[in-house]
Amino acid sequence: MKVVIQRVSSASVTIDEKIVADIQKGLLALVGVEDADTQEDSSWLVGKIANLRIFDDENEVMNLSVKDIQGDIIVVSQFTLHASTKKGNRPSYIKASKPEVAIPLYANFVKRLELELGKKVQTGIFGADMKVLLLNDGPVTIIIDSKNRE
């Protein structure tokens, strides 16, 4: 699984001109699933995201997690994170999982994140045409790949 984490002052997801997710201080997580991903990848990412110390403490040092600040999270499915751009100018999405594989892993990821945080996690709608609006705070943007745990 690949995730792009953005620390946000605010973020929202709109579908068909209706806001379906809306947060203030917290994280926007764009999540891409590939066929090789497992529940173990999901669990590892949940722990990493919930405990990633990217929020400022009282000394303005990034030393607090989203859990520490009791921030919110929006999770958005993003198959384009698995785009291959090696050949030509049209990306290939062959590595991105089909919905029958991706949806259960995505749903489990959201459920595990809610358990880890002890609160509801907002989401977009899998496969929908979403408009994602965010105010990146910092900016802080981090890419995490469960297959590359360096």
CA–CA separation, 1 and 45 (whole Å) = 8
| Tokens 């090696």 found at | 86
- CB burial of 89-103 (b: ≥16 within 10 Å; e: otherwise) equals eeeeeebbbeeeebe
Q: Please indicate whether residue 14 is annotated as part of the active site.
A: no
CA nearest to 40, candidates 5, 70, 66, 1: 1
Of 14, 38, 80, 85, which residue is the catalytic one?
A: 80
- Neighbouring CB atoms inside 10 A of 85's CB total 9
Token duo for residue 150: 């360096």
C-alpha closest to that of 1 among 42, 29, 30 = 42
- Active centre residues (catalytic): 80
